[in-house]
Structure 1
Amino acid sequence: MGAETEVYDVLGIGIGPFNLGMAALVENVAEIQGVFLDENEAFEWHGGMLLDGTSLQVPFLADLVTMADPKSPYSFLQYLQEKDRLYAFYFYEKFHIPRLEYNDYCQWAAEKLSSCRFGRRVTNVSFLEEGRLYKVEAVRSNAETPEYYYARHIVTGTGTKPSLPLWAEKGEDVCHSADYRYRRKELLQKKSITVAGSGQSAAEVFLDLLKKRPEYGYRLHWYTRSSGFFPMEYSKLGLEHFSPEYISYFYHLDSYTKEQLLQKQNLLYKGISADTIAAVYDELYEQTIGGASEDIILQANTEVMNTERTLAGKMKLFLKKINYGTEYTEETEGLIAATGYQPSPQPFLRGIEASLRRDNHGRLQIDEKYRAVQTEKNHHVFIQNGEMHTHGVGAPDLGLGAHRNAVIINQIADREVYPVRSKNVFQQFEREKTGVFA
């Protein structure tokens, strides 16, 4: 390492909302010099689902910084001010902003932050005993030789990738909902389209296709193996599960109890918003004036078991009615698999794999302060949105991103840069401690 090489206090791998928020929050912290790398050429947040009329599922206060630093120059309100939209938003009178605008806001912040460097794919992280530093290797999209960065701490924020079951092999006639906007033009030319899956993404894709059906005339089916098209839990006390207190409560449970709880909490984060359900129903009502349409089917308790392509170029779906156990087939020309996401692989960690601790499922062990448990105690690998198994349902929630970043930044700076308050909600989540509940 030459004398001219800069040593960063923190290096972020991946620039999604969480690491982008980290970059914004450390921008004016004198003792922290950060750099953030991403393999994409520019910021885009779930581009394939940036549909007109869709809204963020958390309030606008869940921006990159506000819940840790309301005075930050990178807040959503500051973005509105600079875009000359503050009064427009004032008269808009909505707490939940358009998803397109959230993406535009994040792009605005990314362009302002010189620490964010796109078009750089991290290929390896190693630890140099001499110098006690992480060495990060990255490859630029327009260069053959790698770049090297040196940092005292690493924070990963590589997010998730679409999860496709075996029956949804990609092809001309099938795509994951994450690619829907990119594939919509060709899908609209089909004579029959099927949406498989449950949750908000499935509902938004179905609604978008439903609105266009009168113009294009295709048959439209929506199957889900869930027991119904149910709304996400959005009561005010239910939302308190996305709080620092609940994170602390969940973290101190034993592993078995955590797994059991997560299986019961799907509707806290996997349901459909009540507004989207209402919009689907209203559109169905208007399209069936004068008589029900046999070309529109919504069916719960139905699982796609397999698919095969027919000689006629269509796709045969092998379906199972879960409650009856009966199986049957349907044909479709287009299939959208709204089958969720899974953590993105992090092969770049192979250089420090020997120092990392994993559980019986191969997942990183992560301590309460978001540090991957490893033998190196003073130079940490922090984890963003990869700790649901240890910290609970709030891991992917945008509203907790600034809180998690505050906890991480305070550790890197070794002082309280941003206050982390212990009392934020009205209800008490019991945590047993030396015979009493805290």
Structure 2
Amino acid sequence: MSLQQQKVYDLIGVGIGPFNLGLAAMLEETGGKEALFFEQRTEFNWHKGMLIEGTTLQVPFFADLISMANVQSRFTYLNYLQTHNRLYHFYFLEKFHIPRKEYNDYCRWVAGQLTSCRFGFQVEKISSINELYEVVVRNVQTGEAESYLTKHVAVGIGTSPSVPSHLEKHLGPNVMHSSEYMERKSELKQAGSITVIGSGQSAAEIFYDLLQGQDDGAYELNWFTRSKGFFPMEYSKLGLEFFSPDYIDFFYRLSQDKKDSLLSNQDLLYKGISMNTIADIYDLLYDKTACGEKPPIHLLAMTELEGIELRNGTHLLTLKHCVSEELFQLESDFVILGTGYAPSMPHFLLQMQDEVNWDGHNRFKVTRDYALETKTMKENKIFIQNGELHTHGVGAPDLGLGAYRNAVIMKQVYGREIYPVNKKNVFQSFEADESWKTAAIR
């Protein structure tokens, strides 16, 4: 079939994470547009390796796929609970932060209702053809490739496990990234010693899980981080207002130099450990050391893992205290690197690099309405989901802003406002009022 004869979709989504899944749900509910979403995995699973029992989302349940745009949607988390006869259970639970495994199940429930979501398909190439985009997709099982035409594309950037370059070569049976934890947890039971590296929520959750499973000192448990301490993520109510459309408006208007400078000082707005997790760890440490008990547990901040050496069936770790600059060594059977994630640059965007506008740090530029900035800006666009931290600020990866971003994208796909995109959502301002500036000039 020639390209002229092919069906033209209104939007094709690349990757099915929470953000594109929310967009698929919005399109399904609104109707009137034809869309397809492709994901190379065979089913939806959100950070499967970190679905530790008892862990919760770090955002309230309203940060589901659609509630912040339309609480009346049939795809809300509350409707999921009602459908599964869990609404009263949740009512009596009286908590805003929901189990991570239930959030994952909720997303799977939504995905199972959407005919536009195709799992087991890898997007290999996107090409511009006049005012349209051709998307080449390969079936992971059969190897067969098909091409589709679409007006718009929504790219879910996603993230990949990040490991410092000097530690990458040591990854293997006994040195793992935190993303593998649940899949390999059973291997740790017979360990004589386990070391956790990292200062974020993932490292803290793994340490706490291992602390709970430490039976009468069955294994030595260490936790090291190069951060200045085991600090909590910012969670004050006015601090949370930085995760709002209002702050995005302010941030987006800044020069790129000012954006980069701001981001470098905002780590604790979107990194760090939840206060509850820190409290749980401390309470358990207190309990384990009651009555003079001294279990083999060590916590040390301001410490960087400099090297790993395999020796006599175990690992010799070389660490450096960042303040005293002293080096020390210890042995550990297993090492778990809670070293975070980095955005994944889709290869098909690199294939389009001559068409895309890049900044001085080789990052693609993104318009305020989440479209990839190209050299010949067309009416039809490539939208970026969770790849715009450098242009839109700390809220880019936040689940609570996913529905808002999708509402902005929907407005462009339909040519009109489908979901309200409200102004002034917070109490504070992020810059001086215009009337104050005028008064100052007088």
What is the CA–CA distance in structure 2 between the aligned matches of 1:350 and 1:256, rounded to whole Å? Answer: 24
Do 2:217 and 2:295's aligned partners in 1 also have CA atoms closer than 8 Å?
no
Structural mapping, 1:306-345, within 5 Å: 306-310=307-311, 312-345=312-345
Secondary structure of residue in 1 paired with 2:238:
helix
Q: Determine the structure 2 residue equivalent to 1:369.
A: 369
TM-score normalised by the chain length of structure 2: 0.95
Secondary structure of residue in 1 paired with 2:215:
helix
Do 1:302 and 1:320's aligned partners in 2 also have CA atoms closer than 8 Å?
yes
Moved more, 8-17 or 138-147: 138-147
- Quote the offset at 1:226 in angstroms: 0.6
- Deviation string, structure 1 residues 192-220 (Cα, Å, up to 9, x no partner): 00000111111000000000011671000
What is the CA–CA distance in structure 1 between the aligned matches of 2:288 and 2:162, rounded to whole Å? Answer: 33
Structural mapping, 1:345-364, within 5 Å: 345-364=345-364
What is the CA–CA distance in structure 2 between the aligned matches of 1:94 and 1:424, rounded to whole Å? Answer: 23
Structure 2: state its 5+ residue gaps.
Answer: none
Do 1:355 and 1:376's aligned partners in 2 also have CA atoms closer than 8 Å?
no
Q: Determine the structure 2 residue equivalent to 1:156.
A: 155
Are the structure 2 counterparts of residues 432 and 391 from structure 1 closer, same or farther at C-alpha, using a change threshold of 3 Å? farther
Moved more, 344-353 or 96-105: 344-353
Q: Determine the structure 1 residue equivalent to 2:110.
A: 109
Do 1:127 and 1:135's aligned partners in 2 also have CA atoms closer than 8 Å?
yes
Do 1:252 and 1:431's aligned partners in 2 also have CA atoms closer than 8 Å?
no
What is the CA–CA distance in structure 2 between the aligned matches of 1:433 and 1:15, rounded to whole Å? Answer: 42
Identity %: 50
Do 1:224 and 1:299's aligned partners in 2 also have CA atoms closer than 8 Å?
yes
What is the CA–CA distance in structure 2 between the aligned matches of 1:136 and 1:430, rounded to whole Å? Answer: 42
Moved more, 290-299 or 205-214: 290-299
- Quote the offset at 1:435 in angstroms: 9.1
Are the structure 2 counterparts of residues 324 and 10 from structure 1 closer, same or farther at C-alpha, using a change threshold of 3 Å? same
Secondary structure of residue in 2 paired with 1:248:
helix
Q: Determine the structure 2 residue equivalent to 1:140.
A: 139
- Deviation string, structure 1 residues 363-387 (Cα, Å, up to 9, x no partner): 1101111111002321211100000
TM-score normalised by the chain length of structure 1: 0.96
Secondary structure of residue in 1 paired with 2:9:
strand
Do 1:7 and 1:150's aligned partners in 2 also have CA atoms closer than 8 Å?
yes
Moved more, 221-230 or 4-13: 4-13
Q: Which amino acid aligns with 1:343?
A: P
Secondary structure of residue in 2 paired with 1:27:
helix
Do 1:16 and 1:158's aligned partners in 2 also have CA atoms closer than 8 Å?
no
Q: Which amino acid aligns with 1:306?
A: G
- Deviation string, structure 1 residues 139-171 (Cα, Å, up to 9, x no partner): 111112201111101110131010011314311
What is the CA–CA distance in structure 1 between the aligned matches of 2:244 and 2:32, rounded to whole Å? Answer: 28
Do 1:369 and 1:407's aligned partners in 2 also have CA atoms closer than 8 Å?
yes
Secondary structure of residue in 1 paired with 2:291:
coil
Do 2:289 and 2:295's aligned partners in 1 also have CA atoms closer than 8 Å?
no
What is the CA–CA distance in structure 1 between the aligned matches of 2:13 and 2:377, rounded to whole Å? Answer: 18
Count of matched residue positions in the alignment of Structure 1 and Structure 2:
434
- Quote the offset at 1:306 in angstroms: 1.2
Structure 1: state its 5+ residue gaps.
Answer: none
- Deviation string, structure 1 residues 64-111 (Cα, Å, up to 9, x no partner): 001011111100011111111111111111111000100000000000
Secondary structure of residue in 1 paired with 2:331:
strand
Do 1:123 and 1:348's aligned partners in 2 also have CA atoms closer than 8 Å?
yes
What is the CA–CA distance in structure 2 between the aligned matches of 1:419 and 1:7, rounded to whole Å? Answer: 28
Secondary structure of residue in 2 paired with 1:44:
coil
- Quote the offset at 1:274 in angstroms: 0.6
Q: Determine the structure 1 residue equivalent to 2:404.
A: 403
Structural mapping, 1:55-66, within 5 Å: 55-66=56-67
- Deviation string, structure 1 residues 384-432 (Cα, Å, up to 9, x no partner): 0000000110000000000000001101111011110011000011168
Are the structure 2 counterparts of residues 273 and 356 from structure 1 closer, same or farther at C-alpha, using a change threshold of 3 Å? same
Do 1:318 and 1:328's aligned partners in 2 also have CA atoms closer than 8 Å?
yes
- Quote the offset at 1:434 in angstroms: 11
What is the CA–CA distance in structure 2 between the aligned matches of 1:40 and 1:283, rounded to whole Å? Answer: 38
- Quote the offset at 1:128 in angstroms: 1.2
- Quote the offset at 1:188 in angstroms: 2.2
